[in-house]
A and B are shown apart, each in its own frame.
Chain A
Amino acid sequence: MQRRNFLGVIMAASATALLLPLRAMAAVWNKAAFEANKLNEAEKGLAINGEIPSKDIEIVAPDRAENGAIVQLEVNSRIPNTEAIAVFVEKNPTALIGNFMFSNGALPQIVTRIKMAETSDIKIIVKAGSQYFTASKNVVVLENGCG
């Protein structure tokens, strides 16, 4: 075994050991979905299929963003039994921004700040039971925020 390989094995083993307590408290990070370059691949990584357009997803974001590094986004789902809100930016180098999962009295509503590489749709997908609902909002980006 080459020295470099050997070190790799040791590091992978210790990383796994460190991750064990974490797995007990949260799901494992969805690498396939987050590293996907294309929107449809990212959606596939989250096992999303047959999404239905919905007017009950409210998206608050600016029509024009001066600086794509910080675009404030508010999402509010009025769909009953909303379990999760996934945020995508269609034209970012990796489309999936985040997945927010609610339980025990957390309202399906979030405000956060995201990066946008260029003018694009922000696409929201809401999971409710076994169904998926979607809405989009276009944001014009004047200065790239995805270095």
Chain B
Amino acid sequence: MKMRAKLTGDTVEVKVIISHPMETGRKKDDFGQLIPAHFIQLVTVTLNDKPVLEMQWGTGISKNPYLTFYLKSAKLGDKITVNWVDNLGQSASGEIAVVQG
């Protein structure tokens, strides 16, 4: 997971890229076999362990999901954490501190 959190004025802009195939379950491989669905379902973002953004995703989010969001309540050095869980029960998390933009 790649993350960046920059403070400009009173708003922190957070950008996140997650490596994930986001397979719909409708695509076939080179041998004509269906590739099983494999996609992120739940994403939680916390600011200093307090929830700020909760997302539910379907198969319509593009491969290697990209996300930008904005926080009014964050300061320099604050900790932003992103957690995701997919339909196969796999999960990962990433963490970054807010820096000056």
Contact = CB atoms under 8 A, between A and B. Distances in A.
B52 A103 contact: yes
A15 interface: yes
A105 B56 contact: no
A94 B55 CA distance: 17
Contact of A89 (B51, B60, B70): B60
B38 to A, nearest CB: 13
Interface in B32-75: 41-42, 44-45, 47, 50-63, 65-74
Contact of A99 (B11, B27, B56, B74): B56
Contact of A107 (B50, B72, B83): B72
A105 B91 CA distance: 26
A94 B66 contact: no
A22 B58 contact: no
Interface in A41-69: 69
12 contacts: A18-B89, A22-B42, A25-B44, A29-B41, A93-B24, A98-B58, A100-B54, A104-B52, A106-B45, A107-B72, A112-B66, A112-B68
Given A29-B56, A106-B71, 8 more contacts: A26-B42, A97-B58, A98-B55, A105-B52, A107-B70, A110-B68, A110-B69, A111-B66
